[in-house]
Structure formats: C-alpha cells, structure tokens
Amino acid sequence: MRRPPGWARPLETPTFSDARPAIVRGDAFEQIAYGRKPPDHEGLRQAGLKATWPRLNVIKVLRGKQRRHLTASEIYKSLRDAGVGLPMGTVYGAVSSLEGAGIIRRISVSRDQRAVYELADSESHDHMICLDTGQIVEFRSERLVEAAREIAEQHGYDVESHTLVMYVRKSGARR
C-alpha cells in the first residue's frame, strides 16, 4: 500500500501477537499483564485504545531507552532522531491517551509539575527526586507497602495501588 508523502513510519514494523494478554483484576484501565512486556496491537485494543502508529512508537521509545524516565519533549526528539516524523501535538496526544489507559505513568518531577513518563509494565515502585540535580531514584519498600495497607484498613479500604514521590536533597546539601 502506498503511503502519502510525510507519512510517519514506525521505528519497527510491529508484529501481531497470537497470545491474548490477561487484564489484571479484569479492569481495562489496570496494568496489562504481558509477562512484564509493554503492550502491542492487541494489548492496546484490550486497554480500549486503537493501535495507532504514534502510540506504538511512543511505547517503543519508552521501552528502548536506557534512561526510563522521559519528558514528552524527549520522546518527541527520540522519534524525530529515529526518522519518525510525528508532530509534537500528536506525540502529546499519544502520551495522554496511553497515560489515561494506564499503559504509561506520569511522574511530576518538580514542584512546578514538570513531568516525565515511564512504562507501567514494571513491578510497583516509588520514586525519590533530587531537587538539586533532578535525578530520579526508583525504590521499593515492603515496609511502605505494609504501612499503606494498614492505613487503608484503618479507614475501611483496600489498597489497589499507590504512588509515592519524595522530593529530596542529599544530606548536608546547602539550600
């Protein structure tokens, strides 16, 4: 099939998966279980989204980066550098829809709400963000998870998921 000039080519031709993904707790907006792999065509459909080239390419960029936390602007630049000619607004739209479906996570990295994104395909974890350097440190604490469960139970709730972002400075750092 001929494509019109300027058509955005994907980073790689996606393949269709024969395996149907299982949705955790049956909710399309929950994390999609793929043996911890990001969704493909079928996974996007299971999450209620069309498998568009922009969405597939955003997932590909987030999957392939050494640095897991990227701004929408950095995602756009990675796509442009790979020869994928998507407008910035299209990238923002793809990021927004993927976030809404729970396929990627938004993390506010500063008090002015600047955000980075990561795939929501990994084990539950939390983040520390250094206010001086912007460095993002991922961590997992069973004590924190247990404390969240206890607090929820005290108020008559069950924890489905939680997110914690701590804004930190190195000990002894001047302000």
Closest to 166 in 3D by CA, of 119, 141, 130: 130
Q: Give the 3-state secondary structure of residue 63.
A: helix
Does domain 123-175 fall under CATH 3.30.1490.190? My reply is: yes
Could you tell me the residue ranges of all domains in the chain?
A: 21-122, 123-175
Residue 158: what residue type? D
Residues 37-69 as b/e (b if ≥16 CB within 10 A, e otherwise) read ebbbbbbbebbebebbbbbbbbbbbbeeeeeeb
Assess contact for 160 and 145: CB atoms under 8 A. no
CATH class of residue range 21-122: mainly alpha
Residues β-bridged to residue 117:
70, 106
Q: Which pLDDT value is given to residue 124?
A: 76
User: What pLDDT was estimated at residue 174?
Assistant: 67
pTM: predicted TM-score of the whole model, two decimal places: 0.66
Confidence (pLDDT) at 175: 63
pLDDT of residue 98: 94
pLDDT less than 70: residues of the chain: 1-39, 65-67, 111-112, 122, 173-175
pLDDT tens-digit series, residues 71-88: 999 999 999 998 888 899
